[in-house]
A and B are shown apart, each in its own frame.
Chain A
Amino acid sequence: IRMLPARASLVTSLRGMGRRAPKQGKPPILPPSKKVLYHVVHPEWQKPRDVEELLWRRLAYNNAVMSLREVFRQELKAKEQAGTGVEHMREEEERELDGLLAAAEKRNEERRAARAAREAEEMAETREEMLREIEEKLEEEKMRTEKSAAEVRAAIARSANFVTRENLEESILKALESPIVYDFAIDRSGKKYVEEAPVKYQEGTPTRQKGRLYEKTLGPFKAADAEKTTVV
């Protein structure tokens, strides 16, 4: 069973998709018909004893309310004169707000001054630190440059006895004049066995090598050599 709404009528039940009931009467744009002469008020029914009671009660009530309006007006005027009215409250609040703003401003000023002092100190500190760092960096740089300059100078000095295109001829002649012998052996006791200085210019043809010429240690170990031993 489907429960129909209270305003159900034939019109509503016959409506398809639009289930909303239309507004009562004609659209507001249309004028009322000629038959309608005036607007009729339909008040709801009241019990007769209620009507009588309400009449005298209403008269008394309205009278009382009118007097009370005057009483309230007088009260408000008295308050205004005494200095506790709305305007006075508003002014009081404004003054309070101004006072609070002034206090806040003062506090802000103090904090600002303190902050400025603190920041100045910190600024000076940071400045000192920065200068120190810069100094250190500069010193480091100086040391590095000195070191590298010394290295370069050392290299230049080392290159003094380099063989270049200019001293090629003389260095060759010098080397031939005083040859260095690297061909030597050394035994555990520290005895050096050197080949004799070779001759600059070979005279005659050298003999054919027989045996291991470099093996000088194969000779007998003499007692005299034992004194010269160095323990390695």
Chain B
Amino acid sequence: FVYVRGAMRKLVNPKLFGRPSIGLARFGCTNRPFFQICVFPDRALGRRHEGSIIEQVGTFDPLPNAHNEKLVALNIERVKYWIGERNVHVSVPVLELLGLSGLLPLHPKTFIRARDNREFIAANEAQRTAEAAAAAAAAAA
């Protein structure tokens, strides 16, 4: 039996587990996040940490750069291997990134997020035009 440290002690059957997972591992420093897209072992073996990384498969910089871009790097060949051959579990943020890159279809969450963003921008625009109109009316009056 394998003991899992961390939360409640639970026994994991080694014969049944073995599905690795691809997720974002946060590196960087305070107020400066930077994610490495890594392959971790089974989720039951404890929460993901730097020592348990099997392989690094990409990077993701969440802060936009000078051209207002968020840079993502992906090792497509290795990702295909892990997803196709080894049947890994992929976390939702990584699924979104893969969808945006074109390897997989767009994740449902991306659509929801896009719609929310659109509504937010529209609301902002409406508010700004309303304020401009109010200011113009106040100036005219």
Contact = CB atoms under 8 A, between A and B. Distances in A.
B84 A64 contact: no
Given A28-B7, A28-B8, A73 B108 contact: no
B1 interface: no
A64 B9 CA distance: 37
Contacts of B8: 28
A69 B95 CA distance: 13
Interface stretch (A14-22, A49-57, A96-104, A136-144): A49-57
By secondary structure, the B interface counts as helix
A131 interface: no
| Interface SS, A side | helix
Interface string B101-112: 000110111011
A70 to B, nearest CB: 7
B104 A76 contact: no
A28 B87 CA distance: 33
Nearest to A65: B104
Interface size classification for chain A: 20 to 34
Interface in B27-55: none
Contact of B81 (A53, A58, A74, A76): A76
Interface string B74-102: 00000011011101000000000000000
A53 B111 contact: yes
**What bracket does the count of chain B residues touching chain A fall in?**
10 to 19
B111 A57 contact: yes
Contacts of A72: 80-81, 83-85
Interface string A59-71: 0110011001111
Contacts of B83: 68-69, 72
23 contacts: A28-B7, A53-B111, A54-B108, A54-B112, A57-B111, A58-B108, A65-B104, A68-B104, A69-B83, A69-B84, A69-B87, A70-B84, A71-B84, A72-B81, A72-B84, A73-B85, A74-B84, A75-B80, A75-B84, A76-B80, A76-B81, A76-B84, A86-B81
Interface of A: 28, 50, 53-54, 57-58, 60-61, 64-65, 68-76, 86
Given A28-B8, A72-B81, 20 more contacts: A28-B7, A28-B9, A53-B108, A53-B112, A57-B108, A57-B111, A61-B107, A65-B104, A68-B104, A69-B83, A69-B87, A71-B84, A72-B84, A73-B84, A73-B85, A74-B84, A76-B80, A76-B84, A76-B85, A86-B81
